[in-house]
Structures are given as structure tokens and as C-alpha cells.
Amino acid sequence: MKPPIAIIGGSGVKSIIKGEEKIIGTPYGPTPTLTIGQVKGREAIYLPRHGEGHTAPPHKVNYRANIWGLKNLGVERIVATNAVGAIDTTLSPGEIVIPSDLIDFTKSRRGTFYDGSPVTHIDVSEPYCPTLRHAIASAGSDNKKNLRNDIVMACTEGPRYETPAEIRMLKTLGGGIVGMTGAPEAFLAREQEICYASISFISNMAAGLQRTLSAKEVEEKGRETGQILNKILIEAIGKIPDTREGCSCGRALAQAQLNKPEVKEQTC
Ligand code: HPA
């Protein structure tokens, strides 16, 4: 049996999986209700990031429980979806992009599984799995969507939207889109050696680039974009290779931990 693939759904993305419902207990608390079923003939798990009925705000999402719960079910690949605002003015609402890098501007979130020994410094030189990003891009092309895949996501703490000055700062730093859920999710997945990539849909221009921002507008754009997003998501899952030879996500801990005696190869 191949390991299941997980989808972490953000705002506006409906479950594309029908099946058994399950809550997993973790050292960090329970996961939301997961749906376990099939997509493109592969076992797939849907995790609603904000819980059922969208009750957890971005800064209160239990990211560690979510990632731990999926790891516990044998998940090796996660495709996440996020609603984002566009900082890059060549992007526009309704567009779907594949982030290539991430700037973490969150403040209060528990961002690691490694609070003690072994001291662990995970490498995030390539925070999103290249194989998953390629699968998403290729699913986009099949749907005649040339998805931009060179966009840097900035993750803010929320739950408020940003000020125009904050957006100008993020732009100076290279941010192309801004959302509230990209971090620490991507980093926690890497700590668990799970491949992770994101499909982000642009619900609005960021603060200062349109008149005002509204949560209702984000929700409505999510509903409008949902169908094509789900289509790309389903096809991307079908394109994920069975084995993880194309990336090093599954070996992320090998060089990351201090104070671990090296296993010496036996010579006799
Ligand atoms: N900022 C932060 N998060 C968001 C935005 C935004 O403009 N749009 C959707 N999620």
C-alpha cells in the first residue's frame, strides 16, 4: 500500500475527498476531523486547517498537531492550499500561484517539534518540495493555466490584515504574496521529513493596493476559485511520483541534529 497523500485545506477550499472521518490524538492535542478516502486511485487525507466550520483563526491553528497527526497516519506528501493577497502588482485576484520561498513574520506560534534535545536545525534552503511543485505546475498546464511558480510568500501573524506600510516593507524584502497560514506549517512538515508544497489562490490585492480589505471578499473569491483549484489539486495528486527519489525532504534530519554520535561504518 502506497503512503497516503494529504491535502491541508485553507479558506474557501472544500473537501475533495469522501470517506471515513477520523480524529487523531497527538502530544499537542487532537487534529481536526480528517477525511480519509481516495483521489486518483491513491489513498488521500483531507485536513481542514481551521477545523470544522472554520473556527480556528490562523494564529490559533494547532499546526504541530496537524502535521504530527498526518505523520502518524504515514503521510509522506502534503499539498497545502492558502488564500493570499497579492503584493506583486503583476498578479491579480483569482490567479493561482505556486510559492517558491517563504518569509516568516509570525510572532506567537509554536514553530518547531524540537524544543529540546536533540538540538535540531532543519535546512530550509528549499522550503517547498521541488517534486510536488512540479506536479502542481504540470497539473496547471493540463488545465491551460500557466501557474507562476517563482513567487515568495510572506506569512504574517494575523488575524488582522496588514497595513499599507507593512506591505511596502514585505515588497522591499521580496514578498510577492501575503497570507497568514504558510508558516510554521511548511517548516514543521520539513522537521517531520514530509514533502510539502502549496497552491495559493489570490483573493485580493494586498493592503494599500486596493481600497479596503474584507474577509467576506476573501471567502467569496475562494468560492469562485474553488472549482479550478480543486481540479488542479486532484490532477496534481495523480502526478506525484510513487517514490521520493527526486527530492531530499525525506532525509531532512540526517544533517540537522547536534550531539548525536555518528554511526561509524564497520571496516572489519
Ligand atoms: N493578507 C493576509 N492574509 C490574507 C490576505 C491578505 O491580504 N488575503 C487572504 N489572506
Cβ(161) – ligand 1 distance below 6 Å:
yes
Cβ(201) – ligand 1 distance below 6 Å:
no
Ligand 1 atom 9 nearest Cα: 84
Q: For the packed helices 215-239 and 130-142, what is the interaxial angle rounded to 10 degrees? A: 100
Would you call 29 helix, strand, or coil by DSSP?
coil
Ligand 1 atom 10 nearest Cα: 84
Ligand 1 centroid from CA 112, angstroms: 24
Is the CATH code 3.40.50.1580 the one for domain 5-257? yes
Ligand 1 centroid from CA 205, angstroms: 8
Q: Model-level pTM? A: 0.94
* Section 239-258 average pLDDT: 94
* Cβ-Cβ contacts under 8 Å for 243 (sequence gap 6 or more): none
Angle (CA) 238 234 91, round 5°: 115
196-211 pLDDT per residue, tens = 999 999 999 999 998 8
Cβ(154) – ligand 1 distance below 6 Å:
no
For 126-188, give the DSSP string. Answer: S-S-HHHHHHHHHHHHHTT---EEEEEEEEE--SSPPPHHHHHHHHHTT--EEESSSTTHHHH
pLDDT of residue 252: 97
Beta bridge partners of 7: 46, 79
**Most ligand 1 atoms within 8 A of CB, residue of 178, 211, 212, 217 to mutate:** 178
Please state the atom number of ligand 1 nearest to the C-alpha of residue 58: 3
pLDDT of residue 266: 62
* Section 132-157 average pLDDT: 94
pLDDT of residue 227: 87
Cβ(85) – ligand 1 distance below 6 Å:
yes
Cβ(179) – ligand 1 distance below 6 Å:
yes
Ligand 1 centroid from CA 226, angstroms: 16
**Whether the Cβ atoms of residue 96 and residue 222 lie closer than 8 Å to each other:** no
Cβ(137) – ligand 1 distance below 6 Å:
no
% of the chain residues with pLDDT over 70: 94
48-90 pLDDT per residue, tens = 999 888 889 999 999 999 999 999 999 999 999 999 999 999 9
End-to-end CA distance of the chain: 38
Residue 116: pLDDT over 80: yes
Ligand 1 atom 2 nearest Cα: 179
pLDDT of residue 17: 87
41-52 pLDDT per residue, tens = 999 999 999 988
Please state the atom number of ligand 1 nearest to the C-alpha of residue 156: 2
Q: Torsion-angle region of residue 39: left (phi > 0), alpha (psi -120 to 50) or beta?
A: beta
Beta bridge partners of 21: 35
Q: What is the H or E stretch that residue 92 is in?
A: none
Cβ(58) – ligand 1 distance below 6 Å:
no
